[in-house]
Amino acid sequence: MEEKKELEKAVEEEVVATEEVKAVEAVDEEKENDEFVNVNKEELKKKLNEAYTELGSKFYKEVCAPTSGRPRELPRPSLFNDSVGRIKNIKEKMDKIISAELAAKGLKACPDCENEVVLASKFCNMCGYKFPSKPDEKKMRPTAVPRCKQCGANLEPDSVFCPDCGKRQ
């Protein structure tokens, strides 16, 4: 009986310890994500340049630095994950700021060429990029002309029979 209680207590302590670690990791991740919350665009540009420099330095050390006679190997991508993640985070924050600024002017940025276009544009006037249609736009479009199930002829919206083949609709 005592062994069972001791085992249950040990399992409970392990679960509590694991949950504490998860909570600390979640707080650290939240702090990392909030790193750029109250930062303006110019500060983000500086941080982005720093992150690119850091990534380039890591890459140079792995690929281009003297090897003391040993053959070169391709670097492990995992070596760059933290730098790449930081760059993505900064770019997402910058994109949100830029999108908000453009939307206030009635514009949006083309994801292909970064040209500024009117919000209602379906295509970019510089590169021809087709913006994805919004689900609401499809609902607002007029419905297609009803067609006969038998012969494909155009029908009036309230037709019960096809005027061409006579098939009941």
Least confident span in 70-74, 113-117, 137-141:
137-141
Tokens of 166: 């006579």
The string of pLDDT tens digits covering residues 82-96 is 889 999 999 998 888
Q: Is the pLDDT of residue 34 over 50?
A: no
Whole-number CA gyration radius for the chain? 30
Q: Is the pLDDT of residue 143 over 60?
A: no
User: Mean per-residue pLDDT for 111-118?
Assistant: 88
Which residue type sits at 100? A
Residue 37's alpha-carbon distances to 33, 47, 75, 90, 116, in angstroms, are 8, 13, 33, 10, 25
For residue 137, the model assigns a pLDDT of 46
Contact 79/89 with Cβ under 8 angstroms? Answer: no
For residue 21, the model assigns a pLDDT of 57
User: Mean per-residue pLDDT for 53-74?
Assistant: 77
User: Mean per-residue pLDDT for 59-67?
Assistant: 76
The percent of the chain in helix, strand and coil, each rounded to the nearest 5, is: 55, 5, 40
Tokens of 79: 């070596």
Q: Is the pLDDT of residue 125 over 80?
A: yes
